[in-house]
């Protein structure tokens, strides 16, 4: 498993999408902090979770994983990063952004 590298998580795929889409897919963030420019940061904390697929393969796994998104004042995600151990999003469709950014 990964050690929290963004390229493994594919969280950068959310850049350019709306925070509203993210929250519809991932649910409410664990932490939300306003930024001086009118934007905000969203933090998702995932501890000891795994999602398995139809043949019991692990599609998503995380232990002590923090995923942060920076959202501009217009509601569009402009940065993403992840830290932690065993942070990985596999081909689990619900965790990835929709095809359309609108």
Query: Hey, how many other C-beta atoms are within 10 angstroms of the C-beta on 56?
Result: 6
> pLDDT (tens digit, 9 = 90+) per residue, 17-54?
999 988 988 889 999 999 999 999 999 887 766 655 56
Tell me the HSE value of 42 on the side-chain side, using a 13 A CA sphere.
26
Residue 17 is assigned to a structural domain of this protein: yes
Give the per-residue pLDDT at 63.
Answer: 62
Domain that holds residue 26: 6-91
Residue 36 is assigned to a structural domain of this protein: yes
Residue 97 is assigned to a structural domain of this protein: no
Residue 33 is assigned to a structural domain of this protein: yes
Give the per-residue pLDDT at 7.
Answer: 41
- DSSP string across 5-26: -HHHHTGGGGTTSBHHHHHHHH
Tell me, what CATH number does 57's domain have? 3.30.1450.10
Q: Domain tally for the chain?
A: 1
């Amino acid at each position: 498993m990964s050690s929290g590298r963004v390229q493994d998580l594919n969280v950068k795929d959310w850049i350019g999408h709306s925070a509203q889409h993210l929250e519809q897919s991932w649910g409410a963030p664990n932490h939300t902090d306003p930024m001086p420019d009118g934007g905000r940061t969203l933090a998702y904390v995932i501890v000891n979770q795994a999602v398995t697929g139809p043949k019991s393969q692990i599609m998503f796994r995380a232990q002590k994983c923090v995923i942060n998104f920076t959202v501009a004042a217009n509601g569009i995600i402009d940065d993403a990063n992840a830290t932690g151990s065993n942070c990985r999003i596999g081909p689990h469709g619900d965790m990835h952004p929709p095809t359309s950014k609108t």
